[in-house]
Amino acid sequence: MTRPVKPDEVGSAPHADPVGVRTDSGTTAEEVAGVQRRTVWVLSLGQVLGGLAFGATLSLGAVLAAELSGEDAFSGLAAAAVTFGTAMTAVPLAAIARRRGRRRSLTTGMAVALVGVGLVIVAVSLRAFPLLLVGFLIIGAGQAANLQSRFAAADLATDASRGRDLSIVVWATTVGAVLGPNLTGPGEIIGGAIGMPPLTGPYLFTLVAQGLAIVLYLVAMRPDPLLLAQRVVASARAESRTIAKADRPVAARYAIFAVAAAHGTMVSVMAMTPVHLAHLTHGATEAATLSIIGLTISLHIAGMYVLSPVFGILADKVGRVPTILIGQVLLVAALLTASFGQLSTTAVTVALVLLGLGWSASTVAGSTLLTESSSEALRTRRQGISDFTMSIVGGLGAIAAGAVLGGIGYGGLALVVLVLVAASVLLAPLGWRASRRPAPVGDAPAGG
């Protein structure tokens, strides 16, 4: 005789690993596990395609903004527009996921982003700078969908594999993020051959990759992981009037803060690094300067994603909050290296790698903690709030970093940003106690 799958055995499981159980609809836990494995691989492939699309999009954003505006000072507005577009669409996409499932939410975000890509191409053709910024703002919906993918990987995961599954999807971003910017040359050749406006040819790859990702999710993400998780919870609720709810709002709020603070730390320093390196290599040839900047940013991106599965396994084995603290140690090492080694290109490069690693550990562990600290009724809403918060903090951090850099320099900027790291460390005991406290019993709370 089989027993029903309990709600704490998928998605928000604190300690469970379902084996040999069956839901009222006839879905065994082995079948749920099979769906989870397939979902992780589908999401990973989707992230590769999404990364290709997004990498090709942003690689020319600053160039297009500077050319259409006529001012180099406006070059950063393209990235800022994408960041704020991500923040604007994170919560609505989370609401769609809650009502209609991950498949509908992810494809909606990517479809909206395609409209933005079209507007960018039209804006370049018309030489319309305001329209260009609107296009990049709308493209942010695609980035919001990419961010949500990591949470989709945790919908059906158990406690033993949640961090690992989430981190695999984060890791998959590496492929697209590295290859995307390298498609600029071939894209320009193809775009020129079919009469596209200058510097818009690479967006052909964006359109194709994004379109393929939409088809992939529509066809392969069946059953929808979030809707299946909701059915499992509903089935268990019908079976028992009193159900343990794994809702820990304090731990969830700490997770949101830790992810946003790590993102703000990373973006603030990373956004100013190319400018600092350009000044540091003053007198060198332009090719040499661009080579140093390109290598530094590439290694930083590798630090962000390549070791994310390691941090996912650590989060599963040693705990979510301890792994967040490992991330803070790496961020401190990065910021001190950047500050005291600011006159050395090698030290700055090492600092950027450490910065990426610290971001990765904090984001993977923080996202995992947020998912398992939230009841099924509140999970997607809090996930949307987390993506909104980290995007806003990142955008504001990049803007403020410019002013700080001009005032006290690159080394001073790195020391100022230490405040965010210190706050994450000081609040960690609160998140630790809340995450280990027994989950309350009863209906999910109305607030989050």
Q: What is 247-448's CATH superfamily?
A: MFS general substrate transporter like domains (1.20.1250.20)
Q: What is the pTM of this model?
A: 0.82
Domain pair 1-243 / 247-448, same fold = yes
Where the chain has pLDDT below 70, the residues are 1-27, 53, 55-59, 62, 72-73, 75-76, 180-182, 184, 236-246, 286-287, 290, 435-448
* Highest CATH level, class, for 1-243: mainly alpha
Q: Rounded to an integer, what distance in angstroms lies between the CA atom of residue 352 and that of residue 74?
A: 24
pLDDT in tens, 253-284: 999 999 999 999 998 898 888 888 878 877 77
pLDDT in tens, 230-241: 888 777 666 654
Residue extents of the structural domains in the chain: 1-243, 247-448
pLDDT in tens, 386-428: 999 999 998 888 888 888 888 898 999 999 999 999 999 999 9
pLDDT in tens, 154-188: 999 888 889 999 999 989 887 777 776 667 677 77
